[in-house]
Amino acid sequence: MAKVQLCNITVMDNPSPFLNPFQFEITFECIEELKEDLEWKMIYVGSAESEEHDQILDSVFVGPIPEGKHMFVFQADPPNVSRIPENDAIGVTVVLLTCSYRGQEFIRVGYFINNEYSDPEMRENSPSPPQFDKVMRNILASEPRVTRFKINWEETNPQENGTQNAETTAQTSEISTPIEVPAFNENSNSWATMECS
């Protein structure tokens, strides 16, 4: 059984200019004390074609963590625009929040993002190169894609641990929900809530 349950994520400052920081208020519950830190990462998917354009916007270590409910705000600077392919700059992409314990990822939350110019004329005739200072970022906060992975929460023999983790990753990757880019609906912008189970 997972020792950490994700209870709620609130997308803050949304919609906002593309060059503003990302902000997520994360609430999670720990069913027993964790001796080591949780590692949270925020990843911007620069292109649906290749992972080489993914950017880790920030990673933070939280812990050690006592039993109970905890909340923190995870903030990160926007992506480096020079690493985003021009064809993928405007339109729909994804931001991922992941959490790992002892180097094992146990939860991943994906949000679709719609990047578009606020000026209607620029929407019709997109400039080249993209002018990111005139782009608005809108996160589809009401439709998070949550994937959970089974991990080993207990201390194990380091020699055995690598083999077990490799097997666990292979099994969970098969049951992960693939991300499909939907048509963007501006009316779907509301808060994301995940109940503790």
Pairing assessment for the beta strands 55-62 and 38-45 based on DSSP bridges: antiparallel
What is the pLDDT at residue 178? 35
Contact 75, 16 (CB under 8 A): no
What is the pLDDT at residue 135? 96
Task: Note whether residue 157 is domain-resident.
Answer: yes
Q: Which domain holds residue 49?
A: 4-188
Task: Note whether residue 195 is domain-resident.
Answer: no
- Whole-number CA gyration radius for the chain: 18
Task: Note whether residue 100 is domain-resident.
Answer: yes
Average pLDDT over residues 47-62: 90
Three-state SS at 14:
coil
Average pLDDT over residues 94-119: 96
Q: Is the pLDDT of residue 164 over 50?
A: no
Residue with the two structure tokens 């080993």: 152
What is the reported pTM?
0.78
Average pLDDT over residues 24-34: 94
**Mean per-residue pLDDT of the chain:** 82
Task: Note whether residue 56 is domain-resident.
Answer: yes
Task: Note whether residue 82 is domain-resident.
Answer: yes
Q: What total of structural domains would you count in the chain?
A: 1
CATH number for the domain including 41? Answer: 2.60.40.1490
Q: Which residue has the higher pLDDT, 175 or 118?
A: 118
Torsion from C-alpha of 124, 190, 56, 152, nearest 10 degrees: -150
Query: How does residue 97 score in pLDDT terms, banded at 50, 70 and 90?
Result: very high
Say which DSSP state 134 is in. Answer: G
Task: Note whether residue 197 is domain-resident.
Answer: no
Q: Is the pLDDT of residue 6 over 90?
A: yes
The residue type found at 173 is: S
Average pLDDT over residues 103-109: 96
Task: Note whether residue 194 is domain-resident.
Answer: no
Task: Note whether residue 81 is domain-resident.
Answer: yes
C-alpha span between 66 and 42 (Å, rounded)? 23
